[in-house]
Amino acid sequence: MVISLQNIGKRFNKEWIFRKCDYTFQSGVSYAITGPNGSGKSTLLQTIAGAINPSEGKVEARIGSDNNSEIIDSGLIFQHLSIAAPYLEVVEEMTAKEFLNFHASFKPFLTGIDTLKILDIIGLKNAADKQIRYYSSGMKQRVKLAQAIFSNTPTLLLDEPCTNLDAVGYSLYHQLMKEYCSEKLVIVCSNDTEEYDFCTEKINISNYK
């Protein structure tokens, strides 16, 4: 999977959030998008995901080998990525088991991984049949991360992935990234170095103002 940002910019009314952003993201590499609060990190991530259209330039995604790659229609890029972010909610009326099964019905999990195994890995096996609305904020965040990390997609987008997690949760996050995401294209938006310390490439959005 390769995602190319070609001179993209985004503005709301007359205010430019970012401009002249040229960058190429590739599978097997982890990237961090950094910058001050309110600088547009989440907006850039949502533009990459195809949830927001750029005001100028274009986002191009390709899948396949260099000699036999195929451009993905911009309206279908969501099929090739998974995302976890504070502004994306889980269905709290469902149990964790129901929610993950529902998610897997349209975005299957990695080979050899099923819902019960996921709940065991993230430490929620004993709460599998409890409605998510009764979970703590940290437990909900584990579910958010699980549905994204274990999805069988080549691209993983994470916005402030350790929100509401304690020290044990941070450790679990790093374990999951190491064991299940090494071959994916990973993009992390954060100001917390512990959330992106494994990323080999770093993009400061302030350079695109």
Q: How far is CA 83 from CA 51, 70, 90, in A?
A: 11, 22, 12
pTM to 2 decimal places = 0.95
Phi/psi of residue 52, nearest 5 degrees:
-130, 135
pLDDT at 66 over 80: no
Task: Express each pLDDT in 133-185 by its tens digit.
Answer: 999 999 999 999 999 999 999 999 999 999 999 999 999 999 999 999 999 99
Domains present along the chain, CATH in parentheses: 2-208 (3.40.50.300)
What are the structure tokens assigned to 32, written together? 């961090």
Q: How far is CA 127 from CA 116, 130, 175, in A?
A: 11, 5, 21
